[in-house]
Structure 1
Amino acid sequence: MNLHQLRFVREAVRQNFNLTEAAKALYTSQPGVSKAIIELEEELGIDIFSRHGKRIRGLTEPGRAVLKSVELIMQEIDGLKQIGKEFAAQDSGSFTIATTHTQARYTLPKVVQAFTQKYPKVRLSLIQGNPKQISEMVLKDQADIAIATEAIANHEGLVTLPCYQWEHIVVVPQDHPLLNSDEITLEELAGYPIITYDSAFTGRNKIDHAFAVRNLKPDILLEAIDADVIKTYVELNMGVGIVAGMAFDPERDRNLRAIPAGHLFGTNVSRVAMKQGAYLRGYVYTFIELLAPVLNRKMIERAMSGEKETYEL
């Protein structure tokens, strides 16, 4: 048994059991991958994969148990490599953050600026996606951390910690009738076309839930992943917008007005997620603390070690 065989098993699963694609990803030949997997199965005395002819179709029951062990072993190997890299170069390396558009556009710029000033030799990458996509990126080692709302807390294999709280706001043109209300209601909002986030983004589930509880069916005119897009269509007087509070800047959005909506949709929590058991380089801890000063290295390490302590803001 060798590490190459374990890598081939893991990559075959990651490539949806396509050995040709697995071979390409690992810069080797398809026959070599196939032969190594068969040799490992013979050594273990079990079939890891179910097959139809020469094609593998999925994992067998013992194969699923083998995959869990393979993932743990490869994670430890990756951790050893990262330890070596960190001690060889304390202030340089690569760092990939998977996040949503809202976080990348409105929350992270000042944090990224402070981080790059502190670690100018670190190559920082931002990858955008919806909460499900960015969670998968971390689980597949395509990103070091993910930053999004509560949605990422539900993924098995991730450790998530709260960063900060925020509320939704309603954005309207300068002379909109809703500005005359002391405190807007869901019934009032339901009387206008609504422009807001796609269902996978930025607390949209809380918006939908609030209307559903009151048996209201809002007229969702347009859905977008980008608050700037939402605000653009509100400026065209096509409807009222519901966006994250952080996405509104009175100086930048001079043609719009913001109306607090926390009493309608509740409080949201943005979270940072790491792969359970992963090795984090020192500057990753620094970035997280710049993002959320309450999350110091000791607290993160306790959470990563599997302590069941509850961390909430």
Structure 2
Amino acid sequence: MAIPFTFRQLNYFVSVAQHGSISKAAEALHVSQPSVSIAIHQLESLLGQPLFQRHRGQGVSLTPRGEALLKEARQILTLSHNLLARLQQDDTEVEGQLVICCFRDIAPYYLPRLVSEFERRYPKITVVMQEQDLAGVSLALTQGKAELALSYALGLPQEVDTRVLDELPPYALLPANHRLAAEPMLSLAEIAKETLILQDMPLTREYFMSLFWHRDLQPSHIHTTASFEMQRGLVAHGHGVALSCTRPAGDQSYDGAPITCVPLNDDVPPQRVVLARSRQFPLSIPAQLFLDQVTNQNEKP
């Protein structure tokens, strides 16, 4: 019996799922948008069910049947690409694509450097980087939209394997002229008396609030913001204080206003920065090469 679909159709389908857009997938694949649309339509006709929900002006999202097919298609394509890659005598000649999802707050600190080093070593591998909140990172791994994820070890699904890259203890951010800015360390009880500038993102919000809840504390006032950059700006200009684990090289906001960073004296475990992969999917050769490179770098004295 002839196989009723092609590897090209599956590849186009996976690319649309990863990019959430037919036009973006076509651009990444260097083909025309109608070519991708036709391939998706052919697969949907073959299966007798829609694989994507179309959202006018907002791309596409997977249907339940599409989510199931994505896992199967990823496995088929990964195994076939790995077979071809193993025929290469030199790893630097390996071709392919690697999709890495990253928690947006820590992406700038790690991903550009890691990917640049990887692409210099493996110039024929294309790396696609996606930024998400913590919930989005977990979803990308479980749905197979990304093969690897760089994130905090927070809220990741059980079927995920991780490698620890770094450990970041939480600290307090205060305006430079705040009455507590000169203190060598601060307690969460002291922070709770201030207006807390809190990033309003899934899991991030719960993590920082849990530091107070575990000590029967509640911040007196909470001001939420959607981004780390706005959080730092509000702190710098005296709107409140904040907690964070990531710390840019310069202790100032985007407009140059100074920020004071003070460590906590509470016994709070650090946030682990991890490189994660889902055990539900076979690991591609490009993903294994990336994992090996990052692991070797971390093991250097």
The TM tier, using the shorter chain, reads: 0.5 to 0.7
Structure 1 residue corresponding to 2:114, chosen from 106, 111, 116: 111
1:5/1:212 Cα in 2 relative to 1: closer, same or farther (>3 Å)? Answer: same
The CA deviation string for residues 149-173 of structure 1, in whole angstroms up to 9 with x for no partner, is 12253254x3323222111111112
1:31 CA drift (Å): 7.8
Question: For the Cα contact (< 8 Å) 1:197–1:243, is it kept in 2?
Answer: no
Q: Determine whether 1:196 maps to 2:198.
A: yes
1:79 counterpart letter in structure 2: L
Q: Determine whether 1:215 maps to 2:221.
A: no
Question: For the Cα contact (< 8 Å) 1:193–1:220, is it kept in 2?
Answer: yes
Structure with bigger helix share is 1
Q: Find the counterpart in structure 1 of residue 80 from structure 2.
A: 80
Query: 3-state SS of the aligned residue for 2:272?
Result: strand
1:109/1:34 Cα in 2 relative to 1: closer, same or farther (>3 Å)? Answer: closer
Runs of 4+ in 1 over 6 A off after TM superposition: 5-8, 251-254
Question: For the Cα contact (< 8 Å) 2:100–2:148, is it kept in 1?
Answer: yes
Structure 2 residue corresponding to 1:289, chosen from 271, 292, 295: 295
Give ranges in structure 2 of 5+ residues lacking alignment.
Answer: 18-33, 51-62
Q: Find the counterpart in structure 1 of residue 46 from structure 2.
A: 36
Question: For the Cα contact (< 8 Å) 1:235–1:255, is it kept in 2?
Answer: yes
What is the distance in 2 between the residues matched to 1:150 and 1:211?
20
What is the distance in 2 between the residues matched to 1:35 and 1:109?
41
What is the distance in 2 between the residues matched to 1:262 and 1:84?
54
CA RMSD of aligned residues (A): 4.2
Query: 3-state SS of the aligned residue for 1:179?
Result: coil
Aligned length: 262
Q: Determine whether 1:127 maps to 2:104.
A: no
What is the distance in 2 between the residues matched to 1:292 and 1:205?
29
Q: Find the counterpart in structure 1 of residue 180 from structure 2.
A: 178
- TM-score (normalizing by structure 2): 0.68
1:230/1:88 Cα in 2 relative to 1: closer, same or farther (>3 Å)? Answer: farther
Q: Find the counterpart in structure 2 of residue 41 from structure 1.
A: none
What is the distance in 2 between the residues matched to 1:238 and 1:178?
14
What is the distance in 1 between the residues matched to 2:262 and 2:35?
50
Q: Which has the larger radius of gyration?
A: 1
What is the distance in 2 between the residues matched to 1:140 and 1:265?
32
Q: How does 1:193-272 map to 2 (within 5 A)?
A: 193-200=195-202, 203-218=204-219, 219-226=221-228, 228-247=229-248, 249-250=250-251, 255-261=258-264, 263=266, 265-272=268-275
Give ranges in structure 1 of 5+ residues lacking alignment.
Answer: 16-23, 39-47, 50-56, 295-313
